[in-house]
Amino acid sequence: MATFKAPKGTYDLIPPVSVKYLAVREAISAPLRNSGYGYIETPGFEDVGLFARGVGESTDIVSKEMYAFETKGGDQLALRPEGTASVLRAALEASLHKQGNLPVKLWYSGSYYRYERPQKGRYRHFSQVGAEAIGAEDPALDAELIILADQAYRSLGLSDFRILLNSLGDKECRPVYREALQSFLRGLDLDEETVRRAEINPLRVLDDKRADVQKQLVGAPVLRDYLCDACKAYHEEVRALITAAGVAFEDDEKLVRGLDYYTRTTFEFVHDGLGSQSAVGGGGRYDGLSEMIGGPALPSVGWALGVDRTVLALEAEGVELDIPASTSVFAVALGEEARRVLFAKVTELRKAGVAADFSFGGKGLKGAMKDANRSGARFAVVAGERDLAEGLVQLKDMESGEQSAVALAELVDTVKARLA
């Protein structure tokens, strides 16, 4: 019979590597939980129209990379390619914006799906932690999110990442720039697909990675020169607040991000140790998205950081996360009576908050001690019939190799004291 494998472009997270992913998710979400962001979870699939309208018909994400399908009931659904549209949809549906406290601050963690050409750091199923602040237009909110992401990366021990920052203007000034950019692009020698893209969303052409396109873009009008006074002042305030917080960034006038919904502040976190897939996360302000998906005007800002990419960045910098062993005590029982007694002790240790495991499968002393070693436990508790007859167990320190007899009745207290 054929054996099954994970679908192309996906991966399984298995121990011991999975512990790293959990630690990264924990580190990214910790500053958010500490700053008033509440946890939200949305379905893995949504109405296809949510992404077509929200993310944008002309984006690669919607036109080429989305997993769309029809259900048995005839509904048109798509696996979520990103998190913002889903979170905003859920917040609107639950009327969170009507409960007074704006902005509504939410964070999430989950899997996302895009049909891409698989390569290192770019998978068809990937994991992100994201944050959204919905319903307030305030440069301090944009700054807060950038500072929190910086804090999360630094808490993991990362230092070789850069923050790129730009402003995309708003509905007042962007149309003027769009017009200027389109007339510039019409004079270039571009392929049919790119010409079509230039008509729908010319900013996407600036994001084109091909060298022959980039060469022609030299001298293209720059958005910064077209920003209205309100957008300029807003952007200066964001820059001033980030700078005052001691967070370094680089102005990047070509930064547009691959989603149609961004306005004003846009930013990206890049890591130079990752080769061509250098972005580890990014985000920006999306003041018009709520209206695009049928909601009221709710100016908002958010980001998503890639868990997979962050793990690769840690490896590129050679950062070893300080992850405590998952097991503190490993019990090795010799004989039937000892199995019953020690199994009960393991249960007692766990109830007392000590991470404990047991040698299953009735192995001999040698095999069981190998298991104890592999578990990473600090202590092994060994007992045979003779020890138990005297009311004792042997407690072995796996680091020093020292072993001492401990009264069975005092085992839990002794272990807790030694671990502390």
Name the amino acid, one letter, at 317. E
Fold annotation for 329-419: Rossmann fold (3.40.50)
Name the amino acid, one letter, at 368. A
What rounded mean pLDDT belongs to the chain? 92
Q: Is residue 84 within 8 Å of 304, Cβ to Cβ? A: yes
Q: Lay out the sheet containing 279-285: strands in order across.
A: 38-39, 104-113, 125-134, 300-306, 279-285, 263-271, 161-167, 250-251
Q: Lay out the sheet containing 45-47: strands in order across.
A: 45-47, 76-79, 68-70
pLDDT in tens, 36-72: 999 999 999 999 999 988 787 767 777 788 999 999 9
What three-state secondary structure class fits 396?
A: strand
CB count within 10 Å of CB 321 equals 13
Q: What tokens appear for 279 in the block? A: 């972005």
Q: How far apart are CA 45 and CA 75, in angstroms?
A: 11
For the chain, what is the radius of gyration of the CA atoms? 27
Domain ranges of the chain: 17-173+227-317, 329-419
DSSP state letter for 218: T
Phi and psi at 268, nearest 5°, equal -145, 145
Name the amino acid, one letter, at 140. A
Q: Is residue 77 within 8 Å of 66, Cβ to Cβ? A: no
Q: How far apart are CA 38 and CA 152, in angstroms?
A: 17
Q: How far apart are CA 252 and CA 236, in angstroms?
A: 14
The pLDDT score that the predictor gives to residue 25 is 97
The pLDDT score that the predictor gives to residue 280 is 94
Closest CA to 169 of 158, 152, 157, 181: 181
CB count within 10 Å of CB 29 equals 20
pLDDT in tens, 180-234: 988 888 888 888 888 888 888 788 788 777 888 888 888 888 888 999 999 999 9
pLDDT in tens, 320-349: 998 888 899 999 999 999 999 999 999 999
Q: How far apart are CA 120 and CA 277, in angstroms?
A: 8
Q: What tokens appear for 194 in the block? A: 């790119």
Q: How far apart are CA 185 and CA 397, in angstroms?
A: 71
* In this structure, CATH architecture of domain 17-173+227-317: 2-Layer Sandwich (3.30)
Q: What tokens appear for 121 in the block? A: 């750091």
Q: Is residue 105 within 8 Å of 39, Cβ to Cβ? A: no
Q: Is residue 146 within 8 Å of 267, Cβ to Cβ? A: yes
Closest CA to 212 of 188, 242, 232, 238: 188
* Rounded (to 5) percent helix, strand, coil in the chain: 40, 20, 35
pLDDT in tens, 366-404: 999 999 999 999 999 999 999 999 999 999 999 999 999
Sequence-distant (≥ 6) Cβ neighbours of residue 32 within 8 angstroms: 105, 107, 131, 148
The pLDDT score that the predictor gives to residue 259 is 64
pLDDT in tens, 235-281: 999 999 999 999 999 999 888 766 667 889 999 999 988 877 789 99
Torsion of CA 197, 202, 203, 206, to 10 degrees: 80
With residue 177 as reference, give the H or E element that holds it.
Answer: helix 174-186
Q: How far apart are CA 210 and CA 189, in angstroms?
A: 13
Please give the C-alpha separations between residue 85 and each of 92, 297, 300, 349, in angstroms, as whole numbers. 11, 14, 11, 45
Q: Where does residue 13 fall: left (phi above 0), alpha (psi -120 to 50 degrees), or beta otherwise?
A: beta
pLDDT in tens, 146-188: 999 999 999 999 999 999 999 999 988 888 888 898 888 888 8
DSSP, residue by residue, 33-78: HTTTPEE----SEEEHHHHHHHT-TTSHIIIII--EEE-TT--EEE
pLDDT at 411 over 70: yes
pLDDT in tens, 70-108: 999 999 999 999 999 999 999 999 999 999 889 999 999
The pLDDT score that the predictor gives to residue 214 is 85
Provide the sign of the torsion angle of the four alpha carbons 165, 297, 290, 173, taken in this order. Answer: negative
User: Helical H runs in 55-173?
Assistant: 60, 84-93, 139-155
Q: How confident is the model at residue 142 (pLDDT cuts 50, 70, 90)?
A: very high
